């Protein structure tokens, strides 16, 4: 609540305007509030390790994740960028996989799309683009409506992940608190409207359905997640290996059929141009954010190429370890997700949206600690300090 109040202050530095962000050094009070919220959250995780009423912790989780809907758009212009891409496809007569936002100055989103994305075609999968079209139409010419719609979608994604871990984890109360009480997820996802929340909800649902012996339905959830962003392919592979080792249904056929169906719909809507999303995505992956491991190693004096090689080496070694466990029947989805965050050159705080739920549903202490550590580490990212 306090973070929401800080955001409503006139000229708040955590509220982006016209595709840009506030000057660094202006948002320390917001950081202090978020640090206090994180400390309370960490204490909550410790307190419920031995159990708590699941309904109660779910209600608190819903309140935490829904409160940021009362704030303006926080810390990111991505929701307005989604609006821009959705408008191009739904109302502008264009193709967001071919036409960048700058080609549509008449778009109501033109002045609000993030500066870094105005010359770039969409990097998102067609399932999300198809969903963005009706949301953009519903928003009309209102940036506030667009922000609220995509923020609501993100909040629903986190709540779906929270419900999925409650259904699929061996210790549901602890899993719910780890996901639903997380203030960083609330601020950056429900507050910023990022589509990684949708990915997190779908992958958590995919794992929960497999745990509940509904692998075919789980495969459909995995397919939908993959058609929002491609990273769930890695986590699906971990689950498939472990299921085969245990002699359980993998859901792989259902996932493949669902992917084929989604691909057909995407081709009807956007031609084969939707496959071009991989091009800007590859360019984006080649960039480094300041919080990523290669950047930190470079700050310590390691040459550019060497820092990247260290990160890739750690990723490969960790992946071999996770694959070995999967071959023995242990699906370490949470560890795989945390490994991606720990080694990727392009690390963003909203990627916690899929790492934290996967760590929660695995009921894996190593993954849980890693998810908490990553949440603490990424807490200040994007806050103008």
Q: Which residues lie closer than 8 Å to 76 by C-beta, 6 or more apart?
A: 16, 114, 188, 192, 193, 194, 350, 382
Residue 24: the pLDDT is: 53
Going by pLDDT thresholds of 50, 70 and 90, the confidence category of residue 18 is: low
Query: Is the pLDDT score of 241 beyond 80?
Result: yes
Query: Is the pLDDT score of 261 beyond 90?
Result: yes
- Give 117's DSSP letter: G
Residue 117: the pLDDT is: 87
The C-alpha atoms of residue 69 and residue 192 are separated, in whole angstroms, by 9
Query: Is the pLDDT score of 145 beyond 80?
Result: yes
Residue 22: the pLDDT is: 54
Q: Hunting for tokens 């091009």 — which residue is that?
A: 279
Residue 332: the pLDDT is: 95
Residue 75: the pLDDT is: 85
Residue 345 CA to chain centroid, in angstroms? 16
Query: Is the pLDDT score of 238 beyond 70?
Result: yes
Query: For 17, phi and psi rounded to 5 degrees?
Result: -135, 140
Residue 302: the pLDDT is: 86
Residues 159-201 pLDDT 10s:
999 999 999 999 999 999 999 999 999 999 888 999 999 999 9
Residue 16: the pLDDT is: 79
Query: For 93, phi and psi rounded to 5 degrees?
Result: 75, 20
Residue 196: the pLDDT is: 95
Beta bridge partners of residue 20, listed in sequence order: 17
Residues 71-100 pLDDT 10s:
888 888 999 999 999 999 988 889 999 999
End-to-end C-alpha distance for the chain, whole angstroms: 21
Residue 229 in contact with residue 248, Cβ under 8 Å?
Answer: no
HEC readout, 94-132: CCCCCCCHHHCCCCCCCCCCCHHHCCCCCCCCHHHHHHH
Residue 115: the pLDDT is: 85
The C-alpha atoms of residue 180 and residue 63 are separated, in whole angstroms, by 9
Going by pLDDT thresholds of 50, 70 and 90, the confidence category of residue 5 is: low
Query: Is the pLDDT score of 19 beyond 70?
Result: no
Q: Hunting for tokens 């079209």 — which residue is that?
A: 133
Residue 382: the pLDDT is: 85
Going by pLDDT thresholds of 50, 70 and 90, the confidence category of residue 15 is: confident
Residue 335: the pLDDT is: 96
Query: Is the pLDDT score of 362 beyond 60?
Result: yes
The answer to which of 80-89, 110-119, 285-294 has the lowest mean pLDDT is: 285-294
Residue 111 CA to chain centroid, in angstroms? 25
Length of the chain: 385
Mean pLDDT for the stretch of residues 1-28: 65
Query: Is the pLDDT score of 367 beyond 80?
Result: yes
Residue 357 in contact with residue 204, Cβ under 8 Å?
Answer: yes
Going by pLDDT thresholds of 50, 70 and 90, the confidence category of residue 305 is: confident
Distances in Å between the Cα of 67 and the Cα atoms of 70, 178, 250, 260, 380 are: 6, 17, 38, 38, 20
More confident residue, 278 or 250: 250
Query: Is the pLDDT score of 153 beyond 90?
Result: yes
The C-alpha atoms of residue 33 and residue 251 are separated, in whole angstroms, by 43
pLDDT winner (highest mean) among 105-114, 218-227, 290-299: 218-227
The C-alpha atoms of residue 263 and residue 254 are separated, in whole angstroms, by 14
Residue 352: the pLDDT is: 96
Beta bridge partners of residue 17, listed in sequence order: 20
The C-alpha atoms of residue 221 and residue 201 are separated, in whole angstroms, by 9
Residue 351: the pLDDT is: 95
């Amino acid at each position: 609540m306090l973070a929401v109040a800080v955001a409503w202050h006139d000229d708040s530095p955590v509220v982006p305007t016209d595709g840009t962000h506030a000057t660094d050094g202006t948002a320390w009070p917001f950081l202090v509030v978020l640090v206090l919220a994180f400390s309370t959250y960490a204490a909550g995780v410790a307190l419920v390790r031995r159990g708590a009423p699941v309904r109660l912790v779910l209600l608190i989780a819903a309140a935490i994740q829904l409160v940021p809907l009362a704030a303006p758009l926080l810390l990111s212009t991505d929701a307005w960028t989604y609006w821009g891409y959705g408008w191009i496809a739904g109302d502008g007569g264009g193709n967001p996989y071919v036409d960048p936002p700058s080609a549509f100055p008449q778009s109501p989103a033109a002045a609000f799309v993030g500066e870094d994305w105005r010359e770039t075609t969409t990097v998102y999968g067609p399932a999300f683009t198809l969903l963005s079209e009706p949301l953009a139409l519903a928003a009309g010419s209102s940036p506030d409506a667009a922000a609220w719609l995509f923020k609501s979608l993100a909040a629903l994604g986190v709540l779906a992940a929270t419900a999925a871990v409650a259904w699929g984890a061996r210790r549901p109360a602890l899993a719910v608190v780890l996901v639903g009480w997380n203030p960083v997820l609330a601020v950056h996802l429900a507050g910023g409207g990022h589509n990684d929340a949708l990915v997190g909800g779908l992958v958590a649902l995919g794992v929960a359905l497999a745990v509940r012996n509904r692998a075919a339905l789980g495969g459909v959830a995995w397919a939908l997640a993959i058609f929002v962003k491609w990273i769930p392919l890695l986590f699906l592979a971990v689950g498939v290996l472990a299921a085969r080792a245990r002699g359980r249904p993998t859901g792989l056929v259902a996932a493949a059929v669902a992917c084929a169906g989604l691909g057909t719909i995407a081709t009807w809507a956007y031609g084969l141009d939707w496959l071009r999303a991989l091009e800007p995505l590859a360019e984006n992956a080649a960039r480094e954010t300041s919080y990523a491991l290669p950047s930190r190693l470079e700050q310590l004096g390691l040459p550019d190429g060497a820092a990247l090689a260290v990160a890739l080496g750690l990723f490969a070694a960790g992946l071999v370890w996770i694959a070995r466990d999967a071959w023995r029947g242990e699906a370490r989805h949470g560890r795989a997700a945390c490994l991606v965050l720990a080694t990727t050159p392009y690390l963003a705080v909203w990627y916690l949206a899929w790492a934290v739920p996967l760590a929660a549903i695995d009921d894996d202490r190593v993954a849980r600690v890693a998810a908490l550590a990553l949440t603490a580490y990424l807490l200040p990212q994007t806050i103008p300090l």
